[in-house]
């Protein structure tokens, strides 16, 4: 058997705010969208333009509270070709939530407080 990654999913409370964040912070753009006929959910798939892997953002119309992310350390990780420029952008966006200088990485938090690890290219 040959398994291949297709997408990862996270649920978001404000789809427009989240898609704007991911485009500005990580240059991820919507590549596909699925909307329920009754308007109960929207799935927005974001791609990086380089790989077939996507981040699926799920918005649920009837969800009325912030998502409980628990105590796990689930996170996404992306590498970037210009680490210092990315860090500068994320500092300006005020979304850096943790820096590990020893490992040479940092994390940003999206509008729902999901963490994304930023790695220099060829880490």
pLDDT in tens, 13-62: 999 999 999 999 999 999 999 999 999 999 999 999 999 999 999 999 99
Concatenated DSSP letters of 59-102: EETT--S-----S---EEEEEES-HHHHHHHHHHTT-EEEEETT
Just give the CATH number of 7-62+74-120. Answer: 3.10.180.10
pLDDT in tens, 70-107: 887 789 999 999 999 999 999 999 999 999 999 999 99
């Amino acid at each position: 058997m040959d398994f291949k990654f297709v997408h990862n999913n996270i649920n978001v409370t404000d789809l427009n705010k989240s898609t704007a964040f991911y485009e500005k912070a990580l240059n991820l753009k919507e590549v596909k969208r699925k909307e329920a006929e009754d308007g109960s959910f929207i799935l927005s798939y974001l791609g990086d333009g380089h790989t077939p892997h996507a981040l699926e953002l799920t918005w649920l119309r009837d969800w009325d509270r912030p998502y409980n992310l628990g105590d796990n350390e689930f996170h996404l990780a992306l590498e970037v070709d210009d680490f210092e420029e990315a860090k500068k952008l994320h500092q300006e966006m005020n979304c850096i939530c943790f820096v590990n200088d020893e490992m040479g990485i940092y994390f940003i938090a999206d509008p729902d407080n999901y963490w994304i690890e930023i790695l220099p290219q060829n880490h």
